[in-house]
Structure 1
C-alpha cells in the first residue's frame, strides 16, 4: 500500500511542473523503476486513475522503464546481474553484495500540452 503516497507525490510533482509551464494538460509521465524497487507498476497505475481524476493529469499515460539489478560481490568484487532474485555471486558463491543499480525510483520526465 506504499504505492498510494508515492503516486500522490508523482501527481503533486507533475501538477507543480505543469502549473509552472502554464500547461493545459499532462499527457505522459515517464517513471524509472529499479528491478529491486518494491513498488508495483499496476498498483501505481490503479492509484493514479483514482487520484488524478478531475485534474489536468487525468488522462495522462504512465510509462514505466525498469532498470535491471546489478550487484557487486564483496568477496571477489565480481559484478553480476542476479537471476530469479538469487543474490549469491555466480563466480565465488559469496553472499555479501553491494547494489550497484536496481533500486531506483524516479520521475524521469513529464510531457505536457
Structure 2
C-alpha cells in the first residue's frame, strides 16, 4: 500500500517541475528502481492512472528501469549481483554482507511539452 504514497510524491514532484518549467504537459517520467526496493511497478502504474487524472501529468507514461542489486562480502571483499532476496557470499558463504546497490528509488528525468 506504500505505493500510493510513493506515487503521490512522484505526482507532486512532477507537477512542481512542470510549473517551474512553464510546461503545458508532462509526457513521461523515467523512474529508477532497485531490485531490492519493495516498490511494485504495476501498483505504482495503477495508482498513477487514478491520481494523475485532471492534472498536467494526465496521460504521462511512466518508464520503469530496474537496477541490479549488488552486494559486497565483508569477509572476503567479493562483490556480486543477485536478482531478488539477500544471499550469502557465493565465494566464502558468509552472511556478513553490505548492500552496495539495489535499494534505490528515484525520478531520473521528467519529459515535458511546452
TM-score category (smaller protein):
over 0.9
Q: CA deviation at 1:82?
A: 2.1
1:88-112: CA deviations, max 9, x gaps?
1110011111000000000010000
Tell me the distance in 2 between the aligned counterparts of 1:96 and 1:18.
Answer: 44
Where in structure 1 do 4 or more consecutive aligned residues deviate above 6 Å? none
Tell me the distance in 2 between the aligned counterparts of 1:59 and 1:28.
Answer: 8
Tell me the distance in 1 between the aligned counterparts of 2:49 and 2:27.
Answer: 13
- Give aligned pairs, total: 113
Q: Which runs of 5+ in 1 are unaligned?
A: none
RMSD: 1.0
Structure with the higher strand share, 1 or 2: 2
Contact 2:30 2:65 in 1 (8 A): yes
Tell me the distance in 1 between the aligned counterparts of 2:109 and 2:89.
Answer: 35
1:8-56: CA deviations, max 9, x gaps?
0000000000001110000000000001001000000000000000111
Q: Which runs of 5+ in 2 are unaligned?
A: none
Give the direction of change, closer, same or farther, for the CA distance of 1:26–1:80 in structure 2 (3 Å limit). Answer: same
